[in-house]
Amino acid sequence: MSLSILLNVVVMLGLFYLLFTLQQKHVKFTRRVFLALGLGIGYGAILQWAYGSGSPVLSQSIEYFDIVGKGYVQLLKMIVVPLVMVSIISAILKLKDGQSLGKISGLTIGVLLFTVAIAGLIGMAVAHLFGLSAEGLTEGAREAERAAALVAREGAAEQISIARTLVELIPANPFLDMTGARDTSIISVVIFSAFVGIAALGVHKKQPELADKFDSFMQVAYAIVMRIVTLVLRLTPYGVLALMTKVLAGSNFADILNLFNFVLASYLALALMFGVHLLLITLAGGNPFTYVKKVLPVLSFAFTSRTSAGTIPLTVQTQTRQLGIPDGIANFAASFGATIGQNGCAGIYPAMLVVMIAPAVGIDPMSPMFIATVIATIVVGSFGVAGVGGGATFAALIVLTALDMPVALVGLLISIEPLIDMGRTALNVNGAITSGFVTSRVLGQTDMSVYNGEQELELDLESVS
């Protein structure tokens, strides 16, 4: 390890110690998360300025930062499957009614698909407004390599169909899905857990004494899993600091400037869709300002980590403890929202690329029939999109391939992919939370005293300070 790398690591350790000191002084969790976000932006920008993009020193320094950053994301992924399983099974046991389960899942998925359709329309409109085009984009060695890899993956995307997508959701081997082996693993785990919960309700009617033992087991399992979640979430400020530092330090600002119009258009579309979410929250009876205040911490983590699936524990915690949404609805919304109807990755991004490519292949992107075709393709393609970094790329492949459009353009945007993906992931998570709130309000199950209360996220972390 060179002296420069050692110095960079020592500075990062010093920032970690600062966050630890603030924790010992009982500074609020939310403030520490936002401080970590700011420190990561500042330190990452300094490293980028000092070493420049592609520096070996910077690359090796980031490898050490990843011990904390990627390590934290890995821990979050570790608890996703057990958290989803115990939460959904426990929630169904509390429902005691299979009909309520059908209403919850139907409403949740319905809101997710409705919002991804709106996101697609916004993406197309903004791309057209900015006059974005595939012409004039430069292709370097890294972009060419990425484009070739995407063309190779095009064959996999061509095999996607509505029928195949729906079949893939069914867990043929639930134990395989518990390893996260497939893009649809989380939904498959949700479906399997729902079967377990429904079966347990049946046992309650025929063998109540035996079912009571299963209920007790689930209560213990739920308590243990939630304790693990608490331990992992305590590391959030440190993970945010490391992840944000990596993003800023590893960005190529020259490439960002060259594609500034696309970056600006993307974030305008994301902001507009966030406004749609707030409108839905307001129509459902929630104060939008209260909502924003309470979801900012989880959106901040989603922004830095670029993983909807890894954010599931925080998404569930925010819904139940901050917004007054019942456990069952919160878990369904967070789980389905990580792989269905992702507004940023599966909605806005593919729609913008379609508008950019369409004129080059002789298609009017603003034709009503073409718009309808694109939106329908986006809605279907949003099923099973992986809730981790790279999910947007596969969503784009599905949509472009289904419309018989070239996919190489996706590779030309590789240099700005991390920057845009942060915003897309935050919007995905916000869409999941919005679906949970709207569903709970429609069913009359939201505890508005919690929603309007002044709880801090510390309550979720059991005396974390």
Angle between helices 185-206 and 327-337 (to 10 degrees): 150
The rounded mean pLDDT for the chain is 82
- Distance between CA 424 and CA 343 in Å, rounded? 8
Q: Which two tokens stand for residue 2?
A: 């060179």
Across 35-39, 136-140, 362-366, least confident range? 136-140
Task: Give the pLDDT of residue 112.
Answer: 94
Give how far Cα 119 sits from Cα of 37, 112, 301, Å: 27, 10, 22
162 vs 224, residue with greater confidence: 224
* CATH code at position 349: 1.10.3860.10
> Looking only at Cα atoms, what is the longest distance across the chain?
71
Please tell me what DSSP assigns to residue 388.
Answer: S
Positive or negative CA dihedral for 53, 54, 55, 61? positive
pLDDT at 42: 92
* C-beta separation of 318 from 433 below 8 A: yes
CA atoms within 13 A on the CB side of 241: 26
Q: Which domain holds residue 74?
A: 3-456
CB 301 within 8 A of CB 311: yes
Asked whether residue 462 is assigned to any structural domain, the reply reads: no
Please state, in angstroms and rounded to a whole number, the distance separating the CA atoms of residues 249 and 45: 6
Asked if residue 459 has pLDDT above 50, the reply is no
Q: What is the pLDDT of residue 99?
A: 63
**Residue 359 maps to a domain:** yes
What is the per-residue pLDDT across 376-430, written as a single tens digit (0 to 9) for each?
988 887 876 655 555 677 777 778 877 877 766 666 666 677 788 889 999 999 9
Please report, for residues 86, 338, 447, the alpha-carbon distance to residue 97 in angstroms, rounded to integers and kept in the order given.
18, 25, 20
Nearest to 115 by CA among 266, 265, 278: 278
Out of 3-12, 40-49, 105-114, 417-426, pick the least confident: 417-426
- Residue count of the chain: 465
Cα–Cα distance for residue pair 316/226, rounded to 1 Å: 11
Domain contains 331: yes
* Cα–Cα distance measured from residue 148 to residue 136, given in angstroms and rounded to the nearest whole number: 19
Q: What angle do CA 459, 460, 464 make, to 5 degrees?
A: 65
Question: Sorting pLDDT into bands at 50, 70 and 90, what band is 252?
Answer: low
**pLDDT value at residue 147:** 47
**Residue 361: half-sphere exposure toward Cβ, Cα within 13 Å:** 14
Most confident of 103-117, 158-172, 310-324: 103-117
* Domain assignment of residue 186, yes or no: yes
**pLDDT for the residue numbered 375:** 93
- CA distances (Å), 454 to each of 20, 28, 72, 108, in order? 25, 13, 28, 26
State mean pLDDT over 31-56. 87
Task: Judge whether 463 lies within some domain.
Answer: no
Q: What is the mean pLDDT of residues 249-277?
A: 84
- pLDDT above 50 for 140: no
CB-based burial, 311-346: b 16+ in 10 Å, e otherwise:
bbbbbbbbbbbbbbbbbbbbbbbbbbbbbbbbbbbb
Q: Which residue has the higher pLDDT, 66 or 133?
A: 66
Residue 464 lies in a domain: no
Residue 463: what pLDDT? 41
Residues 6+ apart with CB under 8 A from 394: 153, 157, 183, 385, 386
Predicted TM-score (pTM) of this structure: 0.79
Tell me, what's the pLDDT at 256?
65
What's the pLDDT tens digit per position in 164-208? 666 777 888 888 888 877 766 777 888 888 899 889 888 988 898
Distances (CA, A) of 122 to 153, 342, 347, 359, 392: 27, 14, 9, 18, 16
Angstrom CA distances, 375 to 341, 368, 404, stand at: 12, 11, 15
pLDDT in tens, 44-101: 989 988 888 778 888 899 899 999 988 988 888 788 788 888 888 887 887 766 667 7
CB contact at 8 A, 433 and 330? no
What pLDDT is stored for residue 65 in this prediction? 92
At residue 145 the predicted structure's pLDDT band, cuts being 50, 70 and 90, is: very low
Task: State residue 90's pLDDT score.
Answer: 83
The arithmetic mean of pLDDT across residues 108-119, rounded, is 94
Following CA atoms 127, 412, 308, 399 in sequence, which dihedral angle do they give, to the nearest 10 degrees? 60
Query: For the residues 29-52, what does the mean pLDDT come to?
Result: 87
Instruction: Decide: helix, strand or coil at residue 45.
Output: helix
- Pick from 320, 340, 341, 345: nearest CA to 330: 320
CB atoms within 10 A of CB 461: 18
> 3-state DSSP: the chain helix, strand, coil percent, rounded to 5?
80, 0, 20
Task: Reply yes or no on whether the pLDDT at 148 is more than 70.
Answer: no
Determine which of 22-36, 123-137, 182-196, 449-463 has the lowest per-residue pLDDT on average. Answer: 449-463
* pLDDT value at residue 105: 84
Query: How far is residue 15's CA from residue 11's CA, in Å, rounded to a whole number?
Result: 6
pLDDT at 38 over 80: yes
Report if residue 465 sits inside a domain: no
> Are 374 and 354 contacting, i.e. CB atoms less than 8 angstroms apart?
yes
- The whole-number average pLDDT for the span 145-154 is 49
Mean pLDDT computed over 124-152? 64
Q: Please indicate, yes or no, if residue 308 is contained in any of the structural domains.
A: yes
Is residue 325 scored above 60 in pLDDT?
Answer: yes
Q: What is the pLDDT of residue 227?
A: 86
Examine the pLDDT at 156 and tell me if it is beyond 80: no
Cα distances (angstroms) measured from residue 244 to each of 10, 45, 132, 141, 241: 17, 10, 28, 26, 5
* Domain tally, the chain: 1
Band (pLDDT 50/70/90 cuts) for residue 146 is very low
